[in-house]
Amino acid sequence: MSGIEMKRTPFFKILVANRGEIALRIMRTARRLGYGVVAVYSDADRDALHVREADQAVRIGEALPAQSYLRIDAIIAAAKASGAGAVHPGYGFLAENEDFAQACRDAGLVFIGPSPEAIRAMGNKAGAKDIMAKAGVPVVPGYQGADQSDAVMLAEARKIGFPVMIKAVAGGGGRGMRLVEDASAFPDALRSARSEAQGAFGDPTVILERAIVDPRHIEIQVFGDRYGNAIHLGERDCSVQRRHQKLIEEAPSPKVTPDLRARIGAVAVTAVKSIDYEGAGTLEFLLDPSGEFYFMEMNTRLQVEHPVTEAITGLDLVELQLRIATGQPLGLKQEDVKFSGHAIEVRLCSEDANHDFMPQSGRMGLWQMPDSIRVEHALRSGSEIPPFYDSMIAKIISHGADRNEARGRLICGLEQTAAFGITTNQGFLISCLRHPAFAKGEATTAFIGNHRDELLASRANHETEAALAALLLYVTNPHAPPWRSGRSLAATFPLTMRIDLGHGAFDVDIVRNRDGSYVAGLDGNEWRFEINELGPDTIRFRANGMMESARFLRDGGHLYILHRGASLAARDLTLAAPASAAAADGDGKVRATMNGRVVAVLVKPGEQVAVGQPVMTLEAMKMEHVHMAGVAGTVSSIDVTEGEQVTTGRIVVEIAAA
């Protein structure tokens, strides 16, 4: 028996110790290669797509779903119960946990990743920098000493020179990381970084590094097998970040020359060979404006952004992982690796870019991904986005003959993406891809900070958006006249609709013409709409003679629209009459919140009323809207009669405050 055969570790079923899109991604390749797949899930993920797609699924969670996927004992037990012979950790969670890798080894399970010893060596940022320095890899100057006292840390920061970067020694994903511009801000930043590191990783230890001004974040994808073979698959540029977390990644980097790629790739291969590294890994570097590069850290796992490397190399990185884990040799030499074209990936996240990228959770009402480019996700219409996990909900990846083609395809794909019900960063990503600095390949890690106002600039066509939103809210009302009814001799009354697009309310008058068309009036401007087709979530129409289409979702008084490549959310304040009336009628005057017919006057002159008491009911589009008293007091005047048609803003009841 050959040496290679003696080192084989075969398995036939794989438990994926992760969730969401990465679990589905691993299952896809595993199934193609003939392996069975097992999922694990927390209570929050009971109906998740990765659970439904697996051959078997084992519950490992209870009251705290965020901690469920970190339970090593439960995952090992799930693998044993399901008959899985191997465990793939995906990324995040336990992927870089040496105790988990050791527990798999002790349980006789194949851990699809590096050895516990390699994870331990590279998992600690301070230790990893020492190892890399000894292997001849350039490292960022800094301090990674054992003395963590406040005085020593401040002294070392002064010695390094500001600005400095504080980094959690066991960190990742931007947590426990702070950029400090001067000595006065250092104590507070240090306390904050330690607290975040303790909460995220259970270890408050930090290191200090010299802050490289305006660098690029470059990472090298490496693979090694158990026979001493190692290769690199080129670089990825991950410079576009917010909160020190990657948002856009591409391969190759616009600023890495073939010569630099060969140099930095050779350094990375030498480094992984020095620790007998097995499996997929990524060495992360900072590239300064002069072309010098410095080692930051090594991620001993598959990366979120691995699809861009797959796109330009034609390789399946999960397949390479599985091949190596079974004991097969890598089967590739460095000269076998060829690069073709350019690839870009964006992370679609459930977050509000306009409010400091605040994560969002809730129900995804409509979820339609583009079919022209690669999308990795684990959602469908109606899926719940739980508040317990990372905000990334999809990865959208494009590949083109060159960078500009890849960028154009990605913008087009994002413009076709319908993610309705939860605020996402879709528009922000499009703004980034379109920005001249990104288009020219000039984006550094300072890109979002330097161009934040431009990237978050609101669109200029609010009135057009309000007109379209008013039309859709009007025609999708279940009691609205059918849009196919054609010409009519009946008189029509304008209905004033109040639309909130998130940056102020618009009052839009909607009129159904006798010829079947609609006119939306706003601030003296008019938009004429002719509807050609109206489906459950699509509309085709002519607006002022131009044929257009839009996708939408109506959810009560909320409306989500994808139009001209941009997503917007509208709220119908017209239908929120009780809240609007109560808020607006502090002067004792109850005003009609829309055009409509008075169907009931619910109080009499001289009657005592309380705040919030119903006083009048208005009917519009066969829906009744109750108006309420904004103040407590005595009804002094009734200004309308039942059956009367009133316009928006008309005073209907007056109350003398008590």
**Together in a domain, 178 and 225:** no
**Together in a domain, 97 and 32:** yes
**Together in a domain, 376 and 405:** yes
Produce one character per residue of 622-656: b if its CB has 16 or more CB atoms within 10 Å, e if not: ebebebbbbbebebeebebeeeeebebebbbbbbe
CA angle 114–115–120, rounded 5-degree value: 100
pLDDT at 4 exceeding the cut of 70: no
The H or E element spanning position 156 is helix 150-160
| Domain final position from 439, 455, 471 | 455
Mutual orientation of helices 125-134 and 258-274 as an angle, nearest 10°? Answer: 110
Task: Kindly indicate the confidence band of residue 454, based on its pLDDT and cuts at 50, 70 and 90.
Answer: very high
**Together in a domain, 56 and 15:** yes
| Domain final position from 162, 177, 210 | 210
Task: Kindly indicate the confidence band of residue 580, based on its pLDDT and cuts at 50, 70 and 90.
Answer: very low
Task: Quickly tell me which residue has 């829906």 as its tokens.
Answer: 623
Classified as helix, coil or strand, 475 is: helix
Q: Domain of residue 294: give its range.
A: 216-455
Please state, in angstroms and rounded to a whole number, the distance separating the CA atoms of residues 73 and 103.
8
CATH no. for residue 177?
Answer: 3.30.1490.20
Q: Confirm whether 124 is domain-assigned.
A: no
Contact 465, 568 (CB under 8 A): yes
Please state, in angstroms and rounded to a whole number, the distance separating the CA atoms of residues 116 and 491.
79
**Pair of tokens at residue 99:** 């105790």
**Together in a domain, 556 and 630:** no
Average pLDDT over residues 496-500: 90
Mind listing the pLDDT tens digit for each residue in 241-267?
998 889 999 999 999 999 999 999 999
- The secondary structure of residue 82, as a DSSP letter, is H
**Together in a domain, 272 and 324:** yes
Q: Which of 419, 301, 405 is nearest to 370 (CA)?
A: 419
pLDDT at 220: 97
CATH no. for residue 356?
Answer: 3.30.470.20
Q: Which of 291, 308, 298 is nearest to 236 (CA)?
A: 308
**What pairs with residue 396 in β-bridges?**
346, 375
Q: Confirm whether 614 is domain-assigned.
A: yes
Range ranked top by mean pLDDT from 106-120, 158-172, 554-568: 106-120
pLDDT at 425: 95
Residues noted as catalytic = 301
pLDDT at 93 exceeding the cut of 90: no
Average pLDDT over residues 415-437: 95
Mind listing the pLDDT tens digit for each residue in 315-343?
999 999 999 999 999 999 999 999 999 99
Classified as helix, coil or strand, 404 is: helix
| Distance, first Cα to last Cα, the chain | 98
Task: Kindly indicate the confidence band of residue 113, based on its pLDDT and cuts at 50, 70 and 90.
Answer: very high
**Together in a domain, 247 and 349:** yes
Q: Which of 625, 651, 648 is nearest to 510 (CA)?
A: 648
The amino acid present at 173, given as its one-letter code, is G
Mind listing the pLDDT tens digit for each residue in 292-319?
899 988 999 999 999 999 999 999 999 9
Cα 400 to chain centroid, rounded: 23
User: HSE of 168 in the Cβ direction (CA atoms, 13 Å)?
Assistant: 24
**Cβ contacts of 454 within 8 Å, gap of 6 or more:** 431, 435
Average pLDDT over residues 431-443: 97
CA distances from 100 to 10, 104, 115 (A): 20, 6, 10
Q: Confirm whether 588 is domain-assigned.
A: yes
Task: Kindly indicate the confidence band of residue 578, based on its pLDDT and cuts at 50, 70 and 90.
Answer: very low
pLDDT at 587 exceeding the cut of 90: no
The amino acid present at 548, given as its one-letter code, is E
Beta-strand runs (E) in 452-575:
495-500, 505-512, 518-522, 525-534, 538-543, 546-555, 558-563, 566-572
Average pLDDT of the chain, as a whole number? 89
Q: Confirm whether 607 is domain-assigned.
A: yes
Classified as helix, coil or strand, 102 is: helix
**Together in a domain, 223 and 203:** no
Q: Which of 186, 172, 189 is nearest to 299 (CA)?
A: 172
Q: How many domains does the chain have?
A: 5
**Together in a domain, 321 and 424:** yes
Task: Specify the pTM.
Answer: 0.80
Please state, in angstroms and rounded to a whole number, the distance separating the CA atoms of residues 603 and 290.
78
Q: Which of 580, 564, 583 is nearest to 572 (CA)?
A: 580
Task: Kindly indicate the confidence band of residue 577, based on its pLDDT and cuts at 50, 70 and 90.
Answer: very low
Contact 141, 160 (CB under 8 A): yes
Task: Quickly tell me which residue has 């970084």 as its tokens.
Answer: 193
**Together in a domain, 242 and 222:** yes
More reliable by pLDDT, 379 or 127 = 379
Mutual orientation of helices 317-325 and 20-32 as an angle, nearest 10°? Answer: 70
